[in-house]
Chains A and B, each alone.
Chain A
Amino acid sequence: GDSVTQMEGPVTLSEEAFLTINCTYTATGYPSLFWYVQYPGEGLQLLLKATKADDKGSNKGFEATYRKETTSFHLEKGSVQVSDSAVYFCALRSGANSKLTFGKGITLSVRP
């Protein structure tokens, strides 16, 4: 079945550091890929998405490129801020039932 693997966390960075969060997937067919963010005490918000190979999703300075050859969708940001502290989930959707398959999530803490 479908699966999403995220790098182990938590991750702690200093403000303005470069961020990479790795995500790889296994899926049949051609999944759509997503990054969701969960701020403390809140629900999930869509951060960015890509629906086909080589698409780049971007939002709020974050980027991720759909790499079919490496089955990856790594999240990057050039300069993190304290306000980026949250839990980040990589997810994919494939199949007719619209199910999102999530990775385990990774907690990012950014210190001033």
Chain B
Amino acid sequence: EAQVTQNPRYLITVTGKKLTVTCSQNMNHEYMSWYRQDPGLGLRQIYYSMNVEVTDKGDVPEGYKVSRKEKRNFPLILESPSPNQTSLYFCASSRHLRGSPISYTFGSGTRLTVV
């Protein structure tokens, strides 16, 4: 089954303790992206990657890092989490055709709480 898999689904952590949220897709998509969803704000893009070893900042990158060493994986790293990073996180991937994305698939989400 074609899917984007995020882990963990739920995570409670303490301020300052480094964590990684994993994202993996099995569709050979070039493009991957991370969003955070907050009440009243919709979804905002954190980072994106157009292909392996190509990453760039989205609208709200502060406090986050990403890497894209392999096509299928795009982990989100919080080096020193803070309470304002408490949110619902979504990973997404997209297939391109002639340079344009033609479909997006979202993961099921990771609910992160930083205390």
Binding site for B on A (CB under 8 A): 4, 36, 42-46, 89, 91, 93, 96-100, 102-105
Contact = CB atoms under 8 A, between A and B. Distances in A.
Interface stretch (B13-21, B65-73, B74-82, B102-110): B102-110
Contacts of B94: 98
A91 B101 CA distance: 14
Interface of B: 31, 33, 35, 40-45, 48, 50, 56, 58, 90, 92, 94, 96, 99, 101, 103-104, 106-109
A99 B45 contact: yes
B89 to A, nearest CB: 11
A101 to B, nearest CB: 8
Contact of A44 (B50, B103, B106): B106
Contact of A43 (B33, B41, B108): B108
A104 B37 CA distance: 9
A89 B33 contact: no
A84 B101 CA distance: 28
Contact of B109 (A43, A93, A97, A100): A43
A99 B42 contact: no
